[in-house]
Amino acid sequence: MKILTVIGARPQFIKAAAVSNVIRKKHNEILVHTGQHYDENMSKVFFDELGIPKPDYNLSVGSGGHGFQTGSMLIKLEEIYTSEKPDLILVYGDTNSTLAGALCGSKLLIPVAHVEAGLRSFNKAMPEEQNRILTDHISKYLFVPTVSAEKNLKLEGITEGVYNIGDVMYDGILHFKKVAEKKSSIIDKLELSKGEYILTTIHRAENTNNINRLKNIIEALNESEVHIVLPLHPRTKKYIQDYGLYFSHNVTVIEPIGYLDMIALEMHSKKIVTDSGGVQKEAFFMQKPCVTMRDETEWIETVENGWNIIAGTDKQKILDGILNFVPTMEQENIFGDGTAAEKIVNIISE
């Protein structure tokens, strides 16, 4: 069977690392990188560290508006699909790469498999939410990571081809935690004391594109007066400069980092403060308290389980979360058993 996989952003590289290795034991995989994330530290380093095969195609789409990005991908993907004639299109998550990959397959009547289907934030102002919904409704195979994702699809009338296989990112964490312990030197490089710093990420457009939201976040970090380590996304850096904002002495700002370094920072942090969906999950996997700087989350299980709180961009809520939030519940196993990749490939093979 020929499976064509479309990826383009950092979270998708991580998921593909788990699944592609299993696919290639049984099938022929064509890997297409859209180039949605093109910065060296946001793209190439992930392929190198995670052992992802070199892409067969790189569309080099780069940055731009949603219409430009998605349209450019569609044009280029159609040429590749027509030439390669795959039996199945495999897409991950909720980016413009996800939607373009799925939509192009659907238009050409090629079956689409969506990994991480069924997630909902119930906020359609988020581009990611639109991408999730549209992709789910044109996919033939929907691989959901949790029970609540399965329920979301059922409420939308999608019951055929739905498989709860657990979370492929959990597969990756189980493997790459061991690798990070051996290979990452970032804790020593930054001279960090284990368990004595807060790891923070800020990248979501709803926060970076809004001066008030971004200002509240930065003020909360500054006023916490605890040691914050912040790998700074290029887009966030640009907006901070444009808005004339700054960080105080307690915030250590570093360049974007590879996956192994990120795992090491997560593993040895005291707490994680983020607006990333993937990092929320990784915090849960690492058993770290998480403060989410969004108004909602698609990973509602982490909140219900008591290890994640939704602070939005209210400065006082973020500050209170940084200083005072401590989980009071034991974690439940809600993301599967670490064999999601094998289950996906077995289902596709059957």
In the predicted model, is pLDDT for residue 40 greater than 70? no
Whole-prediction pTM: 0.88
Same structural domain, 140 and 51: yes
Q: Is residue 291 part of a domain?
A: yes
Average of per-residue pLDDT values in the chain: 94
Q: Is residue 331 part of a domain?
A: no
State which residues form the domain around 31.
Answer: 2-167+336-349
Q: Are 250 and 227 spatial neighbours (Cβ–Cβ below 8 Å)?
A: yes
Separation between Cα atoms, residue 272 and residue 203, nearest integer Å: 14
Q: What confidence tens digit (pLDDT) does each residue in 195-219 have? A: 999 999 999 989 999 999 999 999 9
| Average pLDDT of the segment spanning 244-260 | 95
Pairing of strands 308-310, 251-254: unpaired
State the catalytic residues. Answer: 203
What pLDDT score does 65 carry? 81
Q: Looking at the structure, tell me whether residues 203 and 159 fall in a common domain.
A: no
If asked whether residues 148 and 62 sit together in one domain, one would say: yes
Classify residue 157: in a domain, yes or no. Answer: yes
Does residue 36 have a pLDDT over 80? no
Angle CA 288–290–292, to nearest 5: 165
The packing angle between helices 277-285 and 168-183, to 10°, is 70
Residue 39: its pLDDT value, please? 56
Residue range 145-159: average pLDDT? 97
Give the pLDDT score at 344. Answer: 98
If asked whether residues 51 and 185 sit together in one domain, one would say: no
Side by side, which strands form the sheet with 57-58? 57-58, 28-33, 2-7, 88-92, 112-115, 141-144, 162-164
Q: Is the pLDDT of residue 132 over 80?
A: yes
- Cβ 297 vs Cβ 280: under 8 Å: yes
Does pLDDT of 120 surpass 80?
A: yes
76 and 180 together in one domain: no
**pLDDT band at residue 10 under the 50/70/90 scheme:** confident
Domains held by the chain: number: 2
* Residues 138 and 217 reside in one and the same domain: no
In a domain, 330, yes or no: no
Same domain, 187 and 303: yes
My answer on whether 225 and 296 are in the same domain is yes
What is the arithmetic mean of pLDDT over 101-124?
A: 97
Structure tokens at 175: 């493997």
Residues 67-91 have pLDDT tens digits of 889 999 999 999 999 999 999 999 9
125 with 182, same domain: the answer is: no
User: Are residues 11 and 143 both part of a single domain?
Assistant: yes
What does the pLDDT average to over 275-290? Answer: 95
Q: What is the Cα–Cα distance from 214 to 337, expressed in whole angstroms? A: 37
142 found inside a domain: yes
Does residue 329 lie within any of the structural domains? no
Residue-level pLDDT at 66: 86
Same domain, 209 and 311: yes
**Is the domain of 160 the same as that of 251?**
no
pLDDT of 41 over the 60 cut = no
Does 150 fall in a domain? yes
pLDDT of residue 126: 87
Q: The domain that contains 268 carries what CATH number?
A: 3.40.50.2000
Residue 77 lies in a domain: yes
Give the pLDDT score at 38: 55
36 vs 57, higher pLDDT? 57
Confidence class for position 189, pLDDT limits 50, 70, 90: very high
